[in-house]
Amino acid sequence: MALDGTGLDVADTQANADHFGHAGNDKTRSVFPELRLITLSEAGTHAVVAAQRGPWSTGGRTLAGLWSTSWPIRAGPFNNDGVSRPHG
């Protein structure tokens, strides 16, 4: 299993900017709001088993740490907060 993280552009709306924020700093920032995405994938097939998403300002380690309280994880469906929930 492998953890990987990335940033994704989301629609340029005020609601997304308020929630997700922008990458960069005061002098240079991303054009679109950025979503941070962390995936848990099977290393051989690259199949995504689970994912966490959050604001750009939330670090990847913080998002990955959310799984430590919810093992065993399952692939979606996700609740409205984007957190995959344990079986049962």
Sign (positive or negative) of CA dihedral 88, 48, 80, 23: positive
Q: What per-residue confidence (pLDDT) applies to 27? A: 87
| Residue type for position 88 | G
pTM score: 0.67
Q: If the chain, 88 residues long, is cut into consecutive pieces of 10 residues, what is the mean pLDDT of each piece?
A: 88 93 88 91 87 87 71 50 49
Helix (H, G, I), strand (E, B) or coil at 56: coil
The DSSP code sequence of 5-66 is EEEEE----HHHHHHH--SB-SSSB-SS-EEEEEEEE-TTT--EEEEEEEETTS-HHHHHHG
Every domain of the chain and the residues it spans: 2-69
Q: What per-residue confidence (pLDDT) applies to 24? A: 87
